[in-house]
């Protein structure tokens, strides 16, 4: 049975703003990739996609063809002595963890959801709470196999220019067949975590600086509703792997599902209530460190499948930027002021400091500095105006946006934020494209 492209109108990204018809092929075996890829051309370019957790338009090719890679989910090998795993691009981090954790290994780094594929982790050079020690996912990739529409399949490794274009390359440099990466040792599946309240954005920066060598994992939740002297108050959460304990992988199923689209209010109220109660407990009880399974510590939102539906049928944006250390304090304060004044954003935002690790990819998002991420429900024009204001702050602060989250930023902001984008462009496979790439490279 040969795999064909079938028409669908159901394809959306995680933000659910763009809903466009696509032609989708779902290969089940890697021997089908070459034929599918060779059918792409510069006149009718295609794109490989995974679990479509990118929020904007980097994983969409409206009116065109995409290869859904999630059926290519076989492990090729795992060496439990060295921690080296090679697996097909459609293997999810969740599946990989099921094999790694019981044998005392973990992903080198992971984003806040385990429902991303290895191919997606490479294409967005994803980062996690341990960026300061581990760098991005790409830093642990040792080798991968790439199919280009204009050449033979090839294996590439660090040092090869095409490798560095492919890390964070948004799937535009070729279709990834498999990825080989190095896992890290863990002695337990639990984290010793610490929650620390802070009362103002400036305190966040002090806390992040003073604790940066003490914790492998860190991030902060920020209250976007508080203003004035309380602006940027929040909870700083940090932790280290427990040094002893059991090696229990997460429960793959069952999870709660969101049965229908709900107005954004529901999520907002739930989040604010739990956040405020935690803050209250922290201040009143001065709780010490606690142990938490990695599932709750690293992937709290994965407990609810389809949580993106909580933002309603109009979809939502996630605004994520990074500002360099020189401008981060002032710039982040300014961003929070605008977000608070607008009253449009989700009540909670995420802050995290990135370490000085040099980026692996030409388009890798993380750079030294502070990243802010906030969900913004789609209300049309006023939402775009809000984000345009935020863009202005980011541009003045010499920051940049995360392509995986972006679905509308002006091309100029991308060009300014990613000075190596022209170098990257030379590596783009002419037979591959995405809505994002057409938007920013025009």
Partner 1 sequence: MTETGQSGGPSNRVVILGALSAIAIATARIYATERAALVLAGRNAERLRALADDLRARGASQVEIAAVDLEAAAADAPKHMADWKTKLGGLDHVHVIYGYLGEQAKASADPAELARIVSSNYATAVQWCEAAANIMRVQKRGSVVAVSSVAGDRGRQSNYAYGSAKGGLALYMQGLAHSLAPTGARAAVVKPGFVDTPMTDRMKKGGPLWASPDKVARIIRRSADRGGPIQYAPGMWRLIMLMIRSVPTFVFHKTKV
- Smallest gap from Cβ 99 to partner 1, in A, equals 6
- Choose, by CB under 8 A, the member of 12, 98, 248, 342 that binds partner 1: 98
Q: Applying CB under 8 A, which part among 76-84, 279-287, 323-331, 364-372 lies near partner 1?
A: 76-84
Residue 1 within binding range of partner 1, rule CB under 8 A: yes
Beta carbons within 8 Å of 337's beta carbon, 6+ residues apart: 227, 231
Q: Which is nearer to partner 1, 95 or 136 (CB)?
A: 95
How is the beta sheet containing 400-401 ordered, strand by strand?
290-293, 190-198, 234-241, 217-223, 345-354, 369-377, 316-323, 400-401
Q: Which is nearer to partner 1, 80 or 211 (CB)?
A: 80
Residue whose C-alpha is closest to residue 224's, from 102, 386, 18, 107:
386
Q: Applying CB under 8 A, which part among 74-82, 216-224, 320-328, 396-404 lies near partner 1?
A: 74-82
Residue 305 within binding range of partner 1, rule CB under 8 A: no
In the block, which residue shows the tokens 């689209």? 261
Q: Applying CB under 8 A, which part among 27-35, 149-157, 345-353, 359-367 lies near partner 1?
A: 27-35
Q: Applying CB under 8 A, which part among 67-75, 261-269, 323-331, 347-355 lies near partner 1?
A: 67-75
Q: Which is nearer to partner 1, 206 or 252 (CB)?
A: 252
Distances (CA, A) of 193 to 90, 287, 435: 31, 11, 40
Residue 77 within binding range of partner 1, rule CB under 8 A: yes
Residue whose C-alpha is closest to residue 58's, from 404, 420, 376, 375:
404
Q: What DSSP line would sit under 256-302, residue for residue?
A: EE--S---HHHHHHHHHHHHHHHHHHHHHH----EEEEHHHHH-GGG
Residue burial 240-262, b: 16+ Cβ < 10 Å; e: rest: bbbeebebebbeeeeeeeeeebe
Residue 4 within binding range of partner 1, rule CB under 8 A: yes
Q: Applying CB under 8 A, which part among 71-79, 163-171, 317-325, 402-410 lies near partner 1?
A: 71-79
- Choose, by CB under 8 A, the member of 19, 26, 212, 329 that binds partner 1: 26
- Smallest gap from Cβ 113 to partner 1, in A, equals 19
Residue 286 within binding range of partner 1, rule CB under 8 A: no
- Choose, by CB under 8 A, the member of 20, 34, 99, 196 that binds partner 1: 99
The whole-angstrom separation of Cα 350 and Cα 330 is 17
Task: List residues near partner 1 by CB under 8 A.
Answer: 1, 3-4, 6, 10, 24, 26-31, 71, 74-78, 85, 87, 98-99
């Amino acid at each position: 049975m040969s795999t064909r492209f079938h028409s669908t109108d159901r394809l959306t990204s995680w933000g659910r703003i763009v809903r466009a018809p696509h032609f989708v092929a779902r290969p089940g075996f890697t021997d089908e990739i070459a034929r599918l890829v060779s059918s792409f051309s510069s006149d009718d370019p295609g794109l490989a996609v995974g679990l479509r957790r990118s929020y904007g338009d980097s994983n969409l090719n409206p009116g065109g063809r995409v290869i859904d890679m999630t059926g290519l989910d076989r492990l090729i090998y795992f060496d439990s002595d060295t921690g080296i795993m090679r697996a097909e691009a459609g293997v999810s981090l969740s599946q990989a963890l099921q094999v790694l954790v019981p044998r005392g290994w973990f992903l080198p780094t992971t984003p806040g959801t385990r429902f991303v594929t290895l191919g997606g982790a490479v294409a967005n050079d994803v980062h996690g709470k341990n960026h300061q020690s581990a760098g991005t996912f790409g830093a642990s990739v040792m080798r991968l196999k790439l199919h280009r529409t204009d050449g033979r399949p090839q294996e590439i490794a660090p040092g090869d220019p095409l490798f560095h274009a492919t890390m964070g390359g948004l799937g535009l440099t070729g279709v990834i067949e498999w990825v080989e990466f190095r896992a890290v040792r863990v002695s337990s599946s639990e984290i010793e975590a610490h929650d620390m309240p802070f009362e103002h954005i400036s305190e966040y920066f002090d806390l992040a600086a003073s604790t940066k060598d003490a914790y492998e994992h860190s991030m902060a939740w920020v209250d976007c509703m508080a203003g004035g002297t309380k602006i940027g108050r929040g909870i700083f959460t940090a932790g280290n792997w427990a040094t002893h304990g059991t090696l229990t992988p997460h429960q793959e199923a069952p999870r709660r599902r969101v049965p229908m689209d709900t107005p954004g209010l529901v999520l907002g109220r739930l989040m604010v209530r739990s956040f405020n109660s935690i803050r209250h407990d922290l201040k009143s009880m001065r709780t010490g460190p606690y142990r938490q399974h990695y599932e709750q510590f690293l992937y709290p939102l994965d407990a609810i499948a389809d949580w993106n539906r909580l933002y309603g049928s109009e979809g939502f944006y996630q605004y994520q930027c990074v500002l360099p250390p020189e401008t981060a304090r002032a710039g982040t304060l300014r961003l929070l002021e605008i977000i608070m004044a607008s009253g449009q954003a989700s009540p909670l935002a995420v802050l995290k400091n990135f370490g000085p690790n040099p980026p692996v990819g030409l388009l890798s998002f993380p750079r030294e500095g502070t990243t802010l991420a906030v969900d913004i429900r789609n209300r049309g024009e006023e939402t775009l105006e809000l984000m345009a204001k935020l863009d202005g702050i980011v541009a003045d602060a010499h920051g940049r946006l995360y392509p995986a989250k972006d679905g509308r930023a002006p091309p100029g902001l991308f060009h300014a934020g990613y000075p190596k984008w022209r170098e990257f462009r030379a590596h783009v496979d002419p037979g591959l494209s995405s809505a994002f790439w057409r938007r920013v490279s025009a």
